Chain A
Amino acid sequence: MTNLHDEEHSDVVHAASVGSYLANYFALLGLLIITVAVARVDLGILNMYAAMLIAMVKTVLVVLFFMHLGKAGRLSRIWALTGIFFFLIMIGLNLTDYSSRHMDATSSPTQPQRGGEQPPAE
């Protein structure tokens, strides 16, 4: 009754074929070569986006075919997405500050004038 490899536990045992692991591995190697190759071509800002895109594809491959997130149950999938979601919140809301700092800098020259209008100290 306590043997994990019985039929009744088939939904927690997930062993894909060796071939699928190898295929995934070579796909990852291919992407590694592509990412190095792309980095050697100057595309300006696109270089970073390309590198991140490839890294994300690699991550999806690892998560789906090595970590079997697809078979890990709904709860694990929700949590994995939760992690990414809050990570993006952290970056995104930080960027609302950093991407708009320059707007403050352009409006600042008015401030000394306002200071000059203050009545002299008694």
Chain B
Amino acid sequence: MSIAQKPNYLDSELGIKSWLTTLDHKRIGIMYLLVICVFFIVGGSMAALIRAELLTPKGDLLTSDAYNKAFTIHGVTLVFWVLIPAVPAVLGNFCLPLMIGARDVAFPRLNLLSWYVFTIGGVFGIMAVIFGGIDTGWTFYTPYSTSFSHTSVVLAVTAVFITGFSSIMTGLNFIVTIHKMRAPGMTWFRLPLFVWANYATSLIMVLATPVIAITVFLVGLEKVAHIGIFDPALGGDPILFQHMFWFYSHPAVYIMILPPMGVISEIVACFCRKRIFGYEFVAYSSLAIAIIGFIVWAHHLFTSGLSTYSAMVFSFLTFLVAIPSAVKVFNWTATFYKGEIHFESPMYFAIGFIGLFLIGGLTGLFLASLGTDIHFQDTYFVVAHFHYVMVGSAIMGFLGGLHFWWPKITGKLYAEGLARWAAVIIFLGFNFTFFPQFILGYLGMPRRYHSYSDEFQVLHVCSSLGATVLGFGYILTFCYLLYSVKFGAKAPKNPWGAKGFEWVTDSPPPTDNFDFKPVMREEAYAYKPDYEAPEVVHERA
């Protein structure tokens, strides 16, 4: 069995040092995954605290100050160190060069540097949590953050500032990689849609992230030197902060959701054994979402002093983003039509994604309308809406991708039965957690309070129970995936019978990705009419 003994990227070099100095995009992706897991646990445990506190109407578990810190740490860690990097930095890093048939990204050193910068930013974030926490909410709104909060705002914004650069480096790397590193024959319209999605995401990363960098830099400067730029007492305009903050942070939502959308396109095409319906439209819709995503930001400011005229402009622009999002959903569902559908675990996650994204996306329209937004602003309706998109859909897509490429990444098969159960549990747990929050918000429960009127208790208890189920689903996933690394059966090259360069190389791939020179000779997802898919292989549990 000479094939089995061939060195792959995991065992060609051993030891911690070989990992910390690696330039291999696949290893860097895994290093990102490890750091992200740490922050997922931090942010997730804060969520557990929040849901435990909200079981009862009185603030009996946490003081209001402690509660403020809990939801801020929850938001900051999960947004900046989990959701934003999850798919691009882990799955994107691992798969993107494989999918386009390259040996590595264009700038491997920059890639490693981005991981270090990310981790150093993370260390600052952890320091902010340890040295007093932070209570401003993940949005750092001024003048509260600059003039009144006595928590570690400076450390936290430093952390965000530093981490932003890792995002810029990843985005820059991906753009150049996609432009310049494609294999012969891999034209733009033969690219897998995950690559298109990552290109659109990178566009946002390089264009929007510098703005958040300068914004939090000014917050830090204001905090330290009182230059007055966001302080109304000194003539500054706090709404300018909100403009600049959301100029990044709204597109950042699309950083979180676009790559999972790309993942879903891969999974749906593979398990329907069919080219994605309207490939070009799905590809362009990624770019459209990225670009329109830049011109909608002020819908976060509808109730905070934005001029009426401007609010109308932004309301209209916000509705536009529904079009490319809907194109994606319609085209995924249309792909199922007359497809040869295989219900494997990644497909469970993909279908879950479509369901959650549908609810998350459609409720966004309520918030884009000026009239209803006045009612829903800063209620649990908003909380539920953005959790459906940023957490429900994004994490569902991330887990779907992780399950899809897990055999490729680790070379091992996980317990397929458990994975299907996990997908169902996460889907149900998530809906049980956040659907009641739509109703809570509709009834007028404001966000960010640790105590509430008695009438809201039933729905809050539902939500907390759902969160327990959701948490169980995540822990289950974590356990069987980890178990498979050690005890899983060896994965073949192409366990799902999928098309794409990443499935013709070994599992796990060799350090240089391919033992041959990949050349693209057909369309992407050329499953029909004459592709004989290999038998699907998975481990029964």
- Which residues of chain A have a CB within 8 Å of any CB of chain B? 75, 82-83, 86, 89-90, 93-94, 96-98, 100-101, 103-104, 107
Contact = CB atoms under 8 A, between A and B. Distances in A.
B310 A89 contact: no
Contact of A90 (B211, B239, B301, B310): B211
B207 A97 contact: no
Given A90-B247, A104-B307, 9 more contacts: A82-B207, A89-B295, A90-B211, A96-B310, A97-B298, A97-B301, A100-B308, A103-B308, A104-B308
Given A75-B179, A82-B207, A90-B247, A97 B295 contact: no
B247 to A, nearest CB: 6
A69 B211 CA distance: 24
A82 B291 CA distance: 11
B243 interface: yes
Nearest to A94: B243
15 contacts: A86-B207, A89-B294, A90-B211, A93-B310, A93-B313, A93-B314, A96-B310, A96-B313, A96-B314, A97-B310, A98-B307, A100-B307, A100-B308, A100-B310, A104-B307
A107 B308 CA distance: 11
Which of A83, A89, A93, A100 has the most chain B CB within a 10 Å cutoff?
A93
Interface residues of B, number: 19
Q: At the interface, is chain B mostly helix, strand, loop or mixed?
A: helix
B215 to A, nearest CB: 11
B180 to A, nearest CB: 9
A90 B245 CA distance: 12
A37 to B, nearest CB: 32
* List of 6 A-B pairs having minimum Cβ-Cβ separation, nearest first: A100-B309, A97-B310, A100-B307, A96-B310, A101-B307, A86-B207
A97 B179 contact: no
B211 A97 contact: no
Interface of B: 179, 207, 211, 239-240, 243, 247, 294-295, 297-298, 301, 306-310, 313-314
Nearest to B309: A100
Contacts of B243: 94, 97
Contacts of B294: 86, 89
Which of A82, A94, A103 has the most chain B CB within a 10 Å cutoff?
A94
A64 B239 CA distance: 38
Contacts of B301: 97
Contacts of B179: 75
A93 B308 contact: no
Contacts of A86: 207, 294
B246 to A, nearest CB: 11
A108 B78 CA distance: 40
A91 B240 CA distance: 11
B254 to A, nearest CB: 14
Nearest to A101: B307
A106 B211 CA distance: 33
Contacts of A98: 307
Nearest to B208: A86
A36 to B, nearest CB: 28
A93 B243 CA distance: 10
A32 B294 CA distance: 35
Given A89-B294, A89-B295, A90-B211, A103 B307 contact: yes
Nearest to A97: B310
Contacts of B309: 96, 100, 103
Contacts of B297: 93
A96 B313 CA distance: 8
A75 B132 CA distance: 47
A57 B207 CA distance: 24
Contact of A93 (B239, B240, B295): B295
B252 to A, nearest CB: 15
A93 B207 CA distance: 16
Contacts of A101: 307
A72 to B, nearest CB: 13
Nearest to A93: B295
A13 B25 CA distance: 31
B275 to A, nearest CB: 28
A77 B94 CA distance: 30
Contacts of A97: 239, 243, 298, 301, 306-307, 310
A38 B119 CA distance: 50
A75 B309 CA distance: 37
